[in-house]
Amino acid sequence: MKDISESQARLKGIFNITVTPFTASGEFDFAGISRNIERVIGLGYDGILVGGTYGEFPAMTADERANLFRHVMEVVGDRVPVMLCSAGSDARVVRDLTQLAGDLGGLPMVTPPFVSEVTDAQIISFFKQMAPLSRTGILVYNAPGIGITLPPVVLEQLADIDGVVGIKQGDLNPTAIDQIANRLGGRLRLFCASDLAFLGPMMCGFDGISTTNSGALPEIILATYRALESGDANTARELHHLWYPYRALARRYGQPQLVKAAMNLRGFDGHHVRAPLIDLEPEIINLVGQELQRLAADPRSGVTLK
């Protein structure tokens, strides 16, 4: 993407959150990353997100993240829009990665700075400093999982900053979703940050979702989203219900650990997580395998096993 207007136009639909496959010794498998990207683009995903919380960016150095950005953009080119997570606790790193992401043609995804006792005014000031650094604009990631939840009143103030093109909303409280959809919808792009419960936000008028579990179950999650997008709420609900047991495992054992285990079982390039995360134990992987077999036995899922 070349500028903010193009980001605003293309930022919609279903985006795969691409996991970062690490070798057993903790190195990047760049070939595996490429194969994972090609798979979801080939299936018809509207975009990808790289290096986010489930991409394990907190376990990477700034140089590793920059190299990951460059590799992904070389693979994708301009075929689909790419969100590149430039979040961090060091504003200098965020600044450098945000500028790099925009220069590469990606859309930087920025969280509030996760430092203790940061105020709303400081958060707003931080985003005002970051937004002008990227020629493609920035995406605000409201990420309760890293310790800061931005209330709708703060998100409204961030929406007024030049260069903010969208919000990836991780707080899925129904009241917050209702307020954001009705106050900010049409002003900037709204993304649901979780595929575990995305039907509600999409029905409220969100512009898209980002999905980690589509690394392991790309077919059924894409079909669920497309059904909802086309107005077929009944089919979307049935498909979403179909993979609930998998979601229950994901909630219990964590992402991206479970996603990578399921990818490995399907012959995809999930590989390993990086410390401090720990790969799933064999007995848990066996449960994941049983769930994949159940899904593969149901033709509605589109899931196949090798």
Question: Annotated catalytic sites, by residue?
Answer: 141, 168
Q: And the tokens for 61?
A: 């150095």
Q: Which two tokens stand for residue 8?
A: 């605003």
Beta-carbon count within 10 A of 48 CB? 25
49: which strand partners? 17, 83
Q: Which residues pair with 194 in a beta bridge?
A: none
Q: Which SS3 state, helix, strand or coil, does residue 60 take?
A: coil
Q: What tokens does 197 get?
A: 């419960």
Q: CA 305 → CA 35, 239, 268, 290, 296, distances in Å?
A: 17, 19, 11, 11, 7
Cα-based angle 219, 257, 116 (whole degrees, multiple of 5):
115
The residues, ordered by sequence, that sit 6+ positions from 42 with a Cβ below 8 Å of its Cβ are none
Instruction: Report the C-alpha gap between 60 and 276 in whole angstroms.
Output: 11
Instruction: Name the nearest CA neighbour of 298 among 232, 228, 242.
Output: 242
- Integer-rounded Cα radius of gyration of the chain: 18
CA distances from 169 to 153, 191, 247 (A): 14, 6, 19
Token digits of residue 72: 């992904």
Strand 189-192 versus strand 164-169 pairing type: parallel
- In this structure, the strands spanning 47-50 and 13-18 are parallel
CA distance 170 to 82: 19
Tokens of 110: 């920025």
> Residues 6 or more apart from 275 whose CB is under 8 A from it?
26, 59
